[in-house]
Amino acid sequence: MEKTLVKSSNKTTGLRRRLYRWHRIIGIITVIPVIFWTLSGLMHPFMANWFKPTIPNTFLVPKPINKDQMSLSLREVLEKNRIEALKAFQLVAFEGKTYYQVKSAKDQLLYLDATTGKLLENGDKAYAIWLARYFLEDQTSAIKAITLQTDFDATYKSINRLLPVWKVDFARSDGMTIYVETASSRLGTYNPTSRKAFLWIFDIFHNWSFLGAITNNTIRVTFMIVLLGIIILSALSGLVIYGMLWKKFRKPKAGNRIGILRKYHRQIGLATALVTFTFAFSGAFHATRKYEPNHLPSYVYEPITETNTLPKQLPAIQGAPLLNMGLATIAGTPYFRLVQAKAEGKGSEVNYLHLQTGEVLPEGDLRYAVYLAEQFNQQIQEKTGEITVISSQNLVEKAVLTRFDEEYGFVFKRLPVVKLHYNTPQQTAYYVETSTARLAAKIENIDRAEGFSFGVFHKFSFMAWAGKDVRDLTTMLSALGVLVVSLFGLALFIKIK
């Protein structure tokens, strides 16, 4: 009986020793990644909220088009410049003139004077500079460089969504760079020197872009997920050792260096065990969504319209002032898409006029969005092989969104959009920007789960009730706790031979 008890005790002691040894090993494996992630994570609230640079204008305020500057129809200016076909157009006004911004069949943005029909040389570059100066309210600083950017990079991340954009570098003391999408007259983002430095640090130490540069994105993401999984194991084993089994471990003598380190490592570790787990879990879940590149900028529906099919006269514009105009093709039938100011002066309304008859299409914006969603669904299937069955039969909700909400957050950039929710196994929701015929977002249950996980467990959105400052301070204290317990663990590893 005594021998059995001794053997059982030895087994228990051996199990504790192995558990403690493995906790030390996996802890030392992840200490450098934890330092990288927590330090760069601590910087984020500072740069995103408390030290975030600002610019005077973040969007272009729409103004009524001067009808006196529109003496020529779209067809007339196209014929004057011998342009036989186009994909899209809109009206833009800058430098005292109104232009038809025409996207040619070869994807070039051309600027044709609506009064004379004359082609503006380097018009897209000129408009990009005008937009950049408008957003910055800077008409005097020299332009150091301007380039057309067709891909995301370290300083213009995929979270900015918009492509292609013009990158406009100003010769200013703050080193300001403005990114603008001329096709929608929209600000992509803006980076002074301070934010460029932060983006570089965050990209290297939080997103580990250096690993993707020397290998590939798949290896980068996989390696990060593996390390985050090890961090989860470290947190769980620490919880078992320093929480559940602490009384069974031999305590170091009070007052010695190892005793002090182990005491505070245990206390802080127990206090931060939950946030360590949630940070690592939500980070790993978020990383799984990074295996595939962001295809959103490629989803656009722009069928070619022949110039000779356009009416020779301008469409009859009645009622409220015209803010903009474009083309929309629904099931082979082309329409003028008119954006007009509402009578009461707040917001705008959209009307679709048949190209030839001028007849108004009832609920045109919603009908166009439904048609576009079907086109995007087909494009996604062709690009990814993913099959989602959507039709008017399983469309359960359609609504125009003029502001961001919990599901369609500000990271998606585009507004207004039409939300189309389909009753599919994944509860698919398409968000369509009809003004540019682009897919703004496709959200399914897995995206909602990942967004909830990342928002609640990584960015502490559950603290929103306390205000942004308190939420960010709580996040930073949690990250600091994880950093400190890791440093104490490293010191213990070095001290205990």
The tens digit of pLDDT for each residue in 233-263 reads 887 776 766 656 555 555 555 555 555 566 6
**What is this structure's pTM?**
0.88
Q: Which structure tokens are listed for 191?
A: 């980076």
Tell me what pLDDT residue 351 has: 93
Q: What is the pLDDT of residue 3?
A: 47
Asked if residue 156 and residue 39 are part of one domain, the reply reads no
Confidence (pLDDT) at 346: 74
**Residue 187 pLDDT:** 96
Residues 111, 31: one domain? Answer: no
For residue 48, give the amino acid letter: A
257 and 175 co-located in one domain: no
Q: At what angle do helices 257-288 and 217-239 cross, to 10 degrees?
A: 140
For 11, 52, 476, the CA distances from 5, given in Å and listed in that order, are 10, 64, 49
* Pair type for strands 438-443 and 348-354: unpaired
* Alpha carbon distance 161, 184 (integer Å): 13
Q: Which of 436, 453, 474 is the endpoint of a domain?
A: 436
In this prediction, residue 20 carries a pLDDT of 62
pLDDT of 8: 46
Q: Are 204 and 210 in contact (CB under 8 A)?
A: yes
**What is the extent of the structural domain holding 417?**
363-436
Distance between CA atoms of residues 430 and 442, nearest Å = 5
The per-residue pLDDT for 297 is 86
Tell me if 335 is assigned to some domain: no
Q: In the chain, which residues have pLDDT < 50?
A: 1-9
Q: Are residues 381 and 430 in the same domain?
A: yes
Q: Are residues 143 and 168 in the same domain?
A: yes
Specify if 451 maps to a domain.
Answer: no
- Could you give the number of structural domains in the chain? 3
Same domain for 156 and 82? yes
Residue given tokens 């629904």 in the structure block: 330
Domain-terminating residue out of 145, 171, 198: 198
Say whether both 210 and 234 belong to one domain: yes
Last residue of a domain, one of 136, 164, 198: 198
- CA angle at residue 424 from 461 to 301, to 5 degrees? 85
- The predicted pLDDT at position 7 comes to 46
Same domain for 85 and 159, yes or no, is yes
